[in-house]
Amino acid sequence: MRPASDKIPQPTLSRLTLYLRCLRRLAREGVNTISSAKMEAHCGIVPAQIRKDLSYFGEFGKPGAGYDVQHLLARLTEIMQLDREQRIAIIGAGNLGAALAGYAGFAQSPFRIVGIFDNNFNKIGRMLWNHEILDLQRLSEINQHMRANIGIIAVPAEAAQEVADQLLKSGVSAILNFAPTLIEVPPDVAVRNVDLTRELEVLCYHLDRLTSSPQDASPNDDQ
């Protein structure tokens, strides 16, 4: 299956990023070739699943040998569009927005934070990690030359939908939403939610209920 876009299961996409992470490490360690079986030890995904996931995008492996680390890394990077710069605008310069803006993990990644916005006049104009905090009112205008294509929403729940609308109007086509609320967008926009409270609440449910009977990979994985 070559189309590389049509009917890829969501969980597969999520695991792809996991494989990428493994492959980057293997490449750094000078490993040339890896089989799906050995890969399991690195990323915790069973071999059959790894092979099936990869097979959605092409035939990358060689029977008897496994996958060429460099090659697979390059192909997956391309498929995930991580071979080009991805420009991010962060909306909300509170605790979370500030922490995200300062995240060191972006250093050797295609992700580049190009702007931080807030609507609080006490914050606008102040510096945050080498970025001037910009006026949210001017998002559309500024993004004409800033050209962020991914927006991160790090504002209170009440403001999230409005911020999402503004992001879309500004030309952003993917949103990572940290606000604990549902945001509605047209079907051609990708949204992922990260919801601290939801995760904690699910953990609470399991407290004192997990008694070694469930499968190995406890209440987790994908998403």
- Give the C-alpha separation, 143 to 149, whole Å: 9
- CA angle (202, 10, 16) in 5-degree steps: 100
- Give the C-alpha separation, 54 to 50, whole Å: 6
Interacting span for a copy of itself (CB under 8 A) from 28-36, 59-67, 120-128, 168-176: 168-176
Helices within 29-156 (DSSP H only): 36-43, 47-55, 69-79, 95-101, 139-146
Instruction: Indicate the residue among 11 and 125 with the shorter CB distance to a copy of itself.
Output: 11
> Judged by CB under 7 A, does residue 214 bind DNA?
no
- Give the C-alpha separation, 199 to 152, whole Å: 19
Interacting span for DNA (CB under 7 A) from 61-69, 77-85, 100-108, 205-213: 61-69
Residue 134 Cβ vs DNA, minimum distance, rounded to whole Å: 38
Residues 6+ apart with CB under 8 A from 150: 86, 87, 88, 89, 111, 172, 173, 174, 175, 176
Decide: 192 and 181 in contact? Cβ < 8 Å: no
> Judged by CB under 8 A, does residue 103 bind a copy of itself?
yes
> Judged by CB under 8 A, does residue 210 bind a copy of itself?
yes
- The torsion angles phi and psi of 209, rounded to 5 degrees, stand at -115, -20
- Give the C-alpha separation, 130 to 32, whole Å: 39
> Judged by CB under 7 A, does residue 193 bind DNA?
no
> Judged by CB under 7 A, does residue 62 bind DNA?
yes
Site for DNA in 24-53 (CB under 7 A): 34-38, 46-49, 51-52
Q: Which of 1, 37, 48, 99 binds a copy of itself (CB under 8 A)?
A: 99
Q: CA–CA distance from 207 to each of 204, 210, 212 (Å)?
A: 5, 7, 12
> Judged by CB under 8 A, does residue 127 bind a copy of itself?
no
Q: Which of 37, 46, 65, 190 binds a copy of itself (CB under 8 A)?
A: 190
Interacting span for a copy of itself (CB under 8 A) from 28-36, 59-67, 163-171, 210-218: 210-218
Q: Which of 40, 51, 111, 119 binds a copy of itself (CB under 8 A)?
A: 111
> Judged by CB under 7 A, does residue 59 bind DNA?
yes
Instruction: Indicate the residue among 99 and 210 with the shorter CB distance to DNA.
Output: 210
Burial class (CB in 10 A: 0-12, 13-18, 19+), 91: buried
Binding residues for DNA (CB under 7 A): 1, 9-12, 34-38, 46-49, 51-52, 54-55, 58-67, 222
